[in-house]
Amino acid sequence: MATADWALYTRRALERSGHRSSAPRAAVVDTLAELGCSVTAREIANRVEQRGRAVGLASVYRTLELLEQMGLVQRVDLGEGVARFEPAHGSGEHHHHLVCDSCGNVTAFEDADLERAIERLSGRVDFAIDAHDVTLRGECPACHATTSPS
């Protein structure tokens, strides 16, 4: 689902659920759709502010909490002690993350072989796997280039 489609779908889902439409809530939804992958509430608030609109950090968190309860946003834990969020797609479409331990850069990736391996694993373990998230840590190419000997 494209980001604009996710934003429209999310605004409609909020309306259908009886949640009032407000400028701050719409700004959070639109900004999350734009930023996409694994962003913090602070990053969302900063981007909204850069556009000349004011949204309090508490409003951003309340909106993200509501969207998460409705299954429209996924909370992502990258092991850094801060909550990150990204649009959730009802189709089950998802991706995983590469995190640079040097600069903190987060890159999304998809891998069909990894998905098949996880499916095979679920058949071998006595555990009903409903969802999964893979985070790989290391150094991004830019940081690796600066720390590697020439």
Cα 1 to Cα 33, 47, 137, distances in angstroms: 11, 22, 27
Measured over the CA atoms of residue 86, residue 61, residue 71 and residue 49, the dihedral's sign is negative
pLDDT at 25: 93
- In sequence order, the β-bridge partners of residue 109 are 96
Give the Cα separation of 121 and 115 in Å (integer). 10
Other C-beta atoms lying within 10 Å of the C-beta of residue 48: 20
25 by Cβ neighbours in 10 Å (0-12 / 13-18 / 19+) ranks as buried
Closest residue by Cα to residue 14 from 78, 84, 75, 62: 62
Domains of the chain, residue spans: 1-88, 95-150
CATH assignment of 1-88, given 3.30.499.10, 2.40.160.100, 3.30.300.90, 1.10.10.10? 1.10.10.10
pLDDT at 146: 85
- At residue 145, what is the residue type? A
pLDDT at 147: 78
With beta carbons less than 8 A apart as the criterion, state whether 34 and 3 touch.
yes
pLDDT at 3: 65
The pTM assigned to this predicted structure is 0.73
Query: Per-residue pLDDT for the chain (150 aa), expressed as one digit of tens each?
Result: 566 688 999 999 999 999 988 899 999 999 999 988 888 999 999 999 998 888 999 999 999 999 999 989 988 877 778 888 988 876 666 778 788 888 878 887 788 888 888 888 888 888 887 777 888 888 998 898 887 776
What architecture does CATH give domain 95-150? 2-Layer Sandwich (3.30)
